[in-house]
Amino acid sequence: MQKYTIAIHGGAGVILRENMTPEKEQEYLGALQVALDAGYAILEQGGSAVDAAKAAVIELEDFPLFNAGRGSVFSKDGVQEMDASIMDGIDRSAGAVAGVRNVRNPILLANEVMRNSDHVFLSGQGAVEFAKKQGLKFESDGYFYSQFRYDQWIAIKDSEKVALDHSQTEKKGEAKEDEVIKVEKKFGTVGAVACDSKGNVAAATSTGGMTNKKYGRIGDSPIIGAGTYANNRTCAVSCTGHGELFIRSVTAYDVHAIMDYKNESLKNACEEVVMKKLVEIGGDGGLIAVDRFGNAELPFNCPGMYRGVRSSDGLNKVLIYKDE
């Protein structure tokens, strides 16, 4: 039996110690450990990588401080519009959804698309109708409401700004069309990657997008190859960052391609993509990745990333800041 591993993230960006209370820090670390343990328990019992990644993301979606599922931010219309995707490295089957509302766990809907439809990507009301047909659990608007997220939205809802999942807002002059707030920015996506005891890999990603987003904006999280990718030949990847730049870079697939075509290690491929290629075009953020041997990498090019990794060789850690 080979090494099995799970890695998770809860978003990346300007996450600094001086802006975090000890209580809030422990809350985040505890939630990361719960998600890590949920995925690892499946791997430990001989379960599949795709089930492990899915289980970890469900826990992250249910935790209100992460921008996914229950913790999703408010759109321009004052509602939560959620995106998610999942991919199985065995046969490269995949499922994705975008712009769904009131579905408790969008990652479960993405999984249903992968397993029980002839499609890869469903959006909006059609995706919701499919969720109902598959018997998935729905929640009222109140379930997704938090004062913290509401206050973020209220601060900019009458402007043309869209806010990354920021922890605090600072006004800097007049709002410009489609301006993205750059102060205390945090890219609030959650994700998991796993390698099981048979060497199969999988990835899953979920997000609530940007505060005050409009025009049905979709980021990289539900896009196979941009925010999520898995292939047993190489690795599984889940990204978190400024989605537009990750889409343009086809970031998740690029890690795979460097490994596959250049025969590079997971570490070298991640380094080239996150620390060089993304930086060159101003792509802030990071990713988590695991290869078919159970090796994990969690690189990011910004001050912090909520992250964790656990493997059968005894490794078990959850981290937030860059200097850890």
pLDDT < 50 positions in the chain? 166-184
Q: What is the dihedral of CA 272, 37, 85, 24, to 10 degrees?
A: -80
pLDDT of residue 181: 40
Dist CA 103 CA 208 (whole Å): 12
**What DSSP letter does each residue of 30-53 carry, written as one string?**
HHHHHHHHHHHHHHHTT--HHHHH
- Asked whether 292 and 3 are in contact (CB, 8 A), the reply is no
Asked if 96 and 110 count as a contact pair (C-beta separation under 8 A), the reply is yes
Q: What is the CATH number of the domain that holds 94?
A: 3.60.20.30
- 64: amino acid identity, one letter: P
Using DSSP's 3-state secondary structure scheme, residue 309 falls into: strand
Give residue 73's pLDDT: 87
Predicted pLDDT at 84? 98
Q: Residue 304 has which token pair?
A: 């912090």
Q: Distance between CA 267 and CA 278 in Å, rounded?
A: 16
The structure tokens listed for 312 are 């059968």
State the burial class of residue 85 (Cβ atoms within 10 Å of its Cβ: 0-12, 13-18, 19+): buried
According to DSSP, the residues that pair with 123 across neighbouring strands are 98
| Kind and range of the H or E run holding 57 | helix 49-62
What residue numbers bound the domain in which 144 lies? Answer: 5-321
Q: Where are the beta strands (DSSP E) in the chain?
A: 5-13, 82-88, 93-100, 121-123, 162-163, 180-181, 186-187, 189-195, 201-207, 228-230, 235-241, 285-291, 296-297, 304-311, 316-321
Q: Would residue 211 show up in a list of annotated catalytic residues for this protein?
A: no
Question: Do residues 203 and 238 touch, judged by C-beta distance below 8 A?
Answer: yes
Please state the φ and ψ torsions of residue 206, each to the nearest 5 degrees. Answer: -150, 145
Q: Residue type for 165, please?
A: D
Largest Cα span, the chain: 59
The predicted pLDDT at position 162 comes to: 62
- Overall number of domains in the chain: 1
Q: Which of 158, 161, 237, 141 is nearest to 193 (CA)?
A: 237
Give the number of other Cβ atoms within 10 Å of residue 1's Cβ. Answer: 9
201 bridge partner residues: 195
C-alpha 299, offset from chain centre: 14
Q: Give the CA distances from residue 162 to residues 67, 96, 155, in Å, rounded to whole numbers and listed in that order.
A: 15, 24, 11
pLDDT of residue 170: 38
Q: What is the dihedral of CA 69, 73, 77, 83, to 10 degrees?
A: -40
What is the spatial distance between Cα 246 and Cα 314, in angstroms, rounded to a whole number? Answer: 32
C-alpha 22/C-alpha 18 separation (Å) is 10
Q: What is the pLDDT of residue 185?
A: 56
| pLDDT score for 229 | 99
**DSSP run (H or E) holding 253:** helix 251-262
Query: Which token pair is 93?
Result: 């089957």
Say which of 5, 21, 169, 189 is annotated catalytic.
189
